[in-house]
Amino acid sequence: MTAAHAIVGVILAGGLSSRMGQDKARIRLGGAALIDRAARRLKPQVSAIAVNANGPVLFERGEELPVFADLDAARAGPLGGVLAALDYARRHHPEASHVATVPTDSPFFPTDLVARLSRVVDTPERMAVARSVSGLHPVFALWPVTLAADLAEWLAGGGALRVRSYLERHQAREITFPLIETPRGEFDPFFNINTPDDLDEAENWLWVLER
Ligand SMILES: Nc1nc2c(ncn2[C@@H]2O[C@H](COP(=O)(O)OP(=O)(O)OP(=O)(O)O)[C@@H](O)[C@H]2O)c(=O)[nH]1
């Protein structure tokens, strides 16, 4: 697949943030909310961008993005967000072949994420997912829009909620991304912020990464 293909980028922000105790999308890192950081990083990589959230979303500096909720009020985890994303893409971007998802809580993801995942998408049905030395990162993935009905059926049929199981079922291609070399050592670009301690660690890394 080439960069000419239309890919809708979706920031997954529909979780409960229970470990953080407050909405992770609104958490500030280095002066910017995580949702705005994710949007800034994803936007140049895709042809359109939107946010999956199950509550109100606030954007800064007038950068309003389209927001859509899960289709089913009973939360199905990240896959519920992916299903909503495929439905959104089908309705608003009929030209799009794939949706690229990233979570809202991972501020340092690769700036060539979508380009590298796209390169291994050789058929319209192909899925691709990111890996690093820390393991598979199932919410950093390319999802064919045509999978919507299959995913809906799988979730309705009580399919495992784990994203990883669904990717395995479809033999998603895995792309391994390198660690980032810094003066303080190597850093995983898929580092994500789940707890207040993670946020402290991200603040420390931000200082090193943006020096
Ligand atoms: N749409 C949707 N997204 C979800 C759901 N659960 C998790 N996510 C998203 O999936 C990604 C990974 O979520 P987690 O960090 O495991 O869960 P979380 O709800 O954000 O945080 P915790 O409640 O602390 O587990 C994040 O981008 C979440 O916003 C859900 O039920 N629906």
Q: What is the pLDDT along the chain (211 residues), one digit of tens a residue?
A: 654 469 999 999 999 999 999 999 999 999 999 999 999 999 999 999 999 999 888 887 667 899 999 998 777 889 999 999 999 999 999 999 999 999 999 999 999 999 999 999 988 889 999 999 999 999 999 999 999 999 999 998 887 778 999 999 999 999 999 999 998 899 999 999 999 999 999 999 998 888 6
Return the pLDDT at 97. Answer: 94
Q: What is the DSSP code string of 83-150?
A: HHHHHHHHHH-TT--EEEEEETT-TT--TTHHHHHHHT--STT--EEEEETTEEEEEEEEEEGGGHHH
Return the pLDDT at 3. Answer: 47
Beta carbon of 34 within 6 Å of any ligand 1 atom? no
CA–centroid distance, 15 to ligand 1, in Å, is 3
The overall longest dimension of the chain from CA atoms, in Å, is: 49
* Beta-bridge partner residues of 128: 142, 173
CA–centroid distance, 48 to ligand 1, in Å, is 22
Question: What domains does the chain contain, in order, with CATH numbers?
Answer: 7-209 (3.90.550.10)
Beta carbon of 71 within 6 Å of any ligand 1 atom? no
Q: What's at 190, amino acid-wise?
A: F
N- to C-terminal Cα separation, the chain: 35
Most ligand 1 atoms within 8 A of CB, residue of 10, 11, 17 to mutate: 17
Q: Parallel, antiparallel, or unpaired: how do β-strands 7-13 and 173-176 relate?
A: unpaired
Joined tokens for residue 161: 């909620």
C-alpha distances out from residue 188 to 67, 84, 205, Å: 29, 28, 10
> Residues marked as binding for GTP?
12-14, 24, 52, 70, 105
Q: Parallel, antiparallel, or unpaired: how do β-strands 32-33 and 48-53 relate?
A: unpaired
Contact 151, 70 (CB under 8 A): no
Determine the distance from the C-alpha atom of residue 11 to the mean position of all C-alpha atoms in its chain, rounded to a whole number: 5
CA–centroid distance, 51 to ligand 1, in Å, is 13
Return the pLDDT at 165. Answer: 92
Beta carbon of 75 within 6 Å of any ligand 1 atom? yes
Contact 77, 29 (CB under 8 A): no
ipTM of the shown complex: 0.96
Closest C-alpha to 86, from 150, 141, 147: 147
Beta carbon of 51 within 6 Å of any ligand 1 atom? no
